[in-house]
Amino acid sequence: MSSALALKCAAILGASGVALGAFGAHGLKNVITDPEKIKTWDMASRYQLIHAVALLGFSATGRHSRSVVGLWTVGAVLFSGSIYCLVLNRDVFRPLGPVTPLGGMFMIAGWLALLVAP
């Protein structure tokens, strides 16, 4: 996987992370009143942005690892995406509950894959 693709993944995760974080800080209060849910939303956007920055840094190294880029990208989407859905409507998105820890495991695996990345 090229560093250009890692950069594109970083850009998409970064832009959507900022947008979703801003929504969580400003617009979500009109939809959700539970402060714990707003805090959970914030944590999801934080993890998404951390992995966007990690992808950006990795792309800048010029190294190529399909595993690192794929695991971080899929992990961030599954982890943060499932949390966003669950905060918005836990009843409708209840089946996504097990996706959150799976996404976390993908992100952890990406960090570990970095150890052996070429």
pTM, two decimal places: 0.94
User: Per-domain residue ranges for the chain?
Assistant: 3-114
Report CA 23 to chain centroid distance, whole Å: 15
DSSP string of 55-115? HHHHHHHT---HHHHHHHHHHHHHHHHHHHHHHH-TTTTGGGTTHHHHHHHHHHHHHHHHT
Segment 73-83, tens digit of pLDDT? 999 999 999 99
State pLDDT tens for residues 32-68: 999 999 999 999 999 999 999 999 999 999 888 999 9
